[in-house]
Chain A
Amino acid sequence: MTQREDDPRIGALTRRDMLKTGAAAGVSVAVAGGLSVGMTQVAHAASDTIRGYGTTTVQLKDWSLFNKSTGLTMEFTPTDANMGNFMRDVTVNEVGDTHDLFFTDGGTQYKLGPEGFYLIIDEQHPELVLWERTSDNYKRGYITQTPDGTQYGVPMVNNADSFGYWPEAIGVNPNGLEEVSWQKLFENEDTLNRASIDRNWLLTMPEVAFYMQVYGKAEIVDNANLTPEEAKAVGDWAIERKQAGQFRTFHTGFEEQVQLLGNREVDIINCWEPATKNVNAEAGADVVRYAYTVEGYFKWGIGAYIPTQAADRDNLDNIYKTLNYFLDGEYRAFQAIERGYGGPNLDLGVKYAEEVGWPADQVAAVDAVQKKVDTKYEKPFWENLNPDHQESMEEEWQRFLNA
């Protein structure tokens, strides 16, 4: 039987092909493998548990809220924001066999959608009742669609990333409203050996390139989609800064961000906004700030995507019920308060906060999140997490790390 290249089930069939091969070598192994797959499917069909896999910060801090609202239980496997690792787990490790939903930055659908690893979203699904009222600004575009308009994702949260800092240590107004230059992170005498940058080339390299672009340190057309020559220029400059002693450390994950900033191991760090919220929750209100920048931001959004393997299971209704929950007010209000994230249908978040009797300042805080995000989006930004020359970018970043 010939498999068509445009067959959307190609990704899902890989495991079965392997089992068939296994059968030739040993029937018992294949049967055991087949039984285990079958049992997994039955378990999915029979339970009200949704198994999620993806970026940890899309989580509610208390998933029992989700359970009370939907009757479903969330089992979440958290990952960092390394898109390469995510794509490896989806394509090679086939985590779709065991998970119902993926949560990751927009951009993966460009490759994983057409190659058959994601299901196309059924916009008419009866459980997706809030889809119609969700603004096209959120549900269409870079986070959820491919350029031909195929809908592979449902929007969850968005933000504009910059860096966290201790205001007095870097000499800026502690009210958090002062616009701070990326120069403080990359090229500043006061922050020598007091800065940390993310080790992930996909996140940090475009930031360095953006800074170089803005200040004319190199000819760069698109800081998030570097040519090999541009990547080399960024690598060279980053090595200069490294050798000048700018960076105290290179961090890898959310917990490390919180620890480095919270322990004052560094004064400035390119991190996720929730890291500053976690530090403030322990160290005191607003002791660290998340920067409004002079130059611009990394704009991003996380979407939810359904693995192709889920089509074989009978819990698609529950999956769509979960997707609808992410568009509703409860999820939006808690993401705004707990993480500082914006997202679709924020008006429902405000409505939820009012209805359940949150204090006025918290209701206002939910409302303010969107204004904050919108304010940041008025500045220049980049959003590509799907560069054309990722190999050369990764290799140049390795050169920087190894220098």
Chain B
Amino acid sequence: MANALVSRSIRTWYTQAASGRWTVPTFIIVWTVVVIVPLFLLLLYSFLETKGFKVVWDPSFHTWDRFFETGRWTVAMRTLRIAIGMTVIELVLAFPFALWLAKGCRSQGLKAILLTLLTIPFFLDLSSRTIIWRALLGSNGVVNTVLMELGITSEPVEWLIFTEFSVFFGLAAPYFATMVFPIFLVATLIDDEYLDASRDLGANPLQSLFLVIVPLCLPGVIAGVVFTMVPMMGEWVVPQLMGGGKVNMIGRSTEDALSTLNYPTAASLSAFVLAILVVLLAALTLLTRRRGGIAGLFEALKL
């Protein structure tokens, strides 16, 4: 009798949960506790200040004033510029490669080798991989030595290292795979019959690419952009080693603030970037409104 009651209760709960009656409230509660409250605290912290390694509970705009006066906001903007620019570059490089890997590469052995090679960045320490470039691109490095030996330059090319160019260069390899994998996975799901149908209906290769393949790959592109751009915004190993500390990005600036236990400034940096990301997300939502919003793009996966 008791077992039957318990069983019925569980069944009732499951039915209600499956119907969405509890799902939404549960999600809202968990999301509020795990995400919204910490974000609120982050924002609150940005209105406090630190004195002598201690946070002073005296709300003011002091931290935000200093945030703009000391140029920390430019760090956030530079970080965004580099992250967005590099993400676009990665997309341009990764999309054709991922598409070829998914649809063009006929050798399963070669495909397996290439996929394995793409995972290498995940196994090696980033600083170890990056420091090698300094030896190659430095004033007395291999590249400059070769350039001078060949008579191409008479003295070392110094902008190869410790510049924004070298930061872009250093970021290219570590974040290539994070763009390739999602696009590759989505591209493999595209039924070849769609491509045949497109061709049968008279579309040329470019039309098939932009009217069939690209729309169907959008979920992978969006995932690739997220997996590439978001971690890149917190990057500080490459900017330090390749930029020589001259290309200050938000990860390092936040670390600097934390080194004086200056949590309010670290919070203001994070809040500022978060606000910009919200604006970008809103813009993306507006742009994709005609296709049913961002969620609508993922409908392609149902095909």
Contacts and interface: CB of A to CB of B under 8 A. Distances in A.
A263 B140 contact: yes
A350 B240 CA distance: 42
B244 A250 contact: yes
Contacts of A248: 158, 162, 244
B261 interface: yes
Nearest to B261: A88
B260 A390 contact: yes
B51 interface: yes
Interface residues of A, number: 33
A87 B53 contact: yes
Contact of B138 (A193, A263, A403): A263
Interface in B178-199: none
Nearest to A200: B259
Interface stretch (B65-73, B211-219, B273-281): B65-73
A402 interface: yes
Contacts, number: 91
Which of B71, B139, B245 has most chain A Cβ within 10 Å? B245
Given A91-B261, A264-B139, A394-B257, A399 B69 contact: yes
B139 A398 contact: no
B260 A394 contact: yes
Contact of B259 (A88, A250, A388): A88
B299 interface: no
Given A249-B246, A252-B240, A398-B253, A82 B259 contact: yes
Interface in B125-182: 131, 134-135, 138-141, 158, 161-162
Given A248-B244, A251-B245, A265-B140, A398 B162 contact: no
B140 A391 contact: no
Please tell me the size bucket of the interface on B.
35 or more
A398 B71 contact: yes
Interface in B57-111: 66, 69-72, 74-75
Contacts of A13: none
B50 interface: yes
Contacts of A399: 69-71
27 contacts: A84-B259, A84-B260, A87-B53, A87-B261, A91-B261, A92-B261, A111-B53, A249-B162, A250-B245, A251-B244, A259-B134, A263-B134, A263-B138, A265-B134, A265-B140, A391-B260, A391-B262, A398-B71, A398-B248, A398-B256, A399-B71, A401-B245, A401-B248, A402-B71, A402-B72, A402-B253, A403-B71
